[in-house]
Structure 1
């Protein structure tokens, strides 16, 4: 199981390959939130999201003879691109299973990185079953998007950076809001904070109607979403928290939060106007919660992870036009 030693080892393997993203701030955002807001822009990471960290961690941890046979992954886009790029840098093949309704840019980018893309219907087909069959038939190693110890370890390197950067910024106690799908990033950050910054508390943030992590934390057991489509936050719409990630979140995380799609769009527009960064809807929900759910957040400061920036131009234009100014 993932622990701080695995996260530190992943950080060593990622050194020189992943970007150390900064903590950003804006007085305009502080005013909206009513407290100090620090943003971790993983949208600036390779392939436009934190997913490169976990992908590189998992691929680089494979035995050379296993890695040489290639890898397979399933993803709505960000994990897809992370695995495709990590595989390309290692000189191996990658097959990526993607939902047919994933943003076109994510599908195109994944193919452009050299991966073979297999599309499926997320409402009627089981991506886990498709992935398991292809992995067995072709001798590929399946790199799961969140329920994989080495992937969690790689995502946890984000938490190591947050711990160090928060200390540099003079923040020792704060909620760390994390965009949450299956929980790989949230659980990895939570483990890193437990070891390096126990005054910082990870909290998952999800779209309204797809708040399986929040409901699972509240009930103490894994809860499933009723549907797999209907939100613009495609990057974090998953069936349920992972079997590996949920126990970590249940032990370490604070209560979950949820925001509306229009609030994610507004956060995207504000991030562009005030921080000059591009965030996709699923990558904006943590910032949206920091800005628009002030009463649900504790402390004089809040840290929000902007987990990805892979948004189609039309949707980004909608965010800017709808929430201009």
Structure 2
């Protein structure tokens, strides 16, 4: 499995699913042992975000060239060691570079040729894929305990925007239309200095009521913030991501979700009444007209559709092919 660990809880939750399906989960680097050439029919490979590898930060010059060469060798050699290669594609475009450069397009074609199938976490009409369900942020036992503990607990953050801050998530577009008197809490780090400056300039020029400290947020602090928020806002570019960890964390912790229009937003607004599509025009009037759905209802509906059995069954169908 690649990666075997990640700061995104998706990997830990998915690894648990594989173990429940009686797979022994090992890091990808363990695959490239000579003994696995003989055992290739017994080996299944699951790749996540693999197409983003050439765009790792901190690589430059000869070091980057050698890394990219090694990366392509790893793709071409996968078939020697495994008879079942599943590529989970999370995004339409790389997130550490602009557009779809030639290298990225070549990588997509190569992975498509080498792997058995493309797997996505949502249905898409951009390419053929098999769909598995995205796991929730916590396991069922934890979520049921959370529902029981909700009671009349206050949700004192009205509007929250969270996650790593990158241009494709369009925080700038949100700030450009955000109603001046409404409070907006932002939690997340922006490593792009130019984009950070742009965001601060918008806030200052429009005199917005925005609370943002540009720093990494510990998991516990972020979880507490989401769990005490009424509405989480997503302003992602359309055709940037196939699925969203931000969405599933908000869903798991009972927040209502407001999205700028995108294929993902349209899909989720059909699934859940508490997912609303908002437009930049007359935003304040739209926000005032939205009915809030209680958090215990949000979590209950999430568990109906994305319970652990449903997740396992979706993966079982993929891994048994």
TM-score, normalised relative to structure 1: 0.31
The structure with more radius of gyration? 2
- Higher relative CO (Cα under 8 Å, sequence separation at least 6) belongs to 1
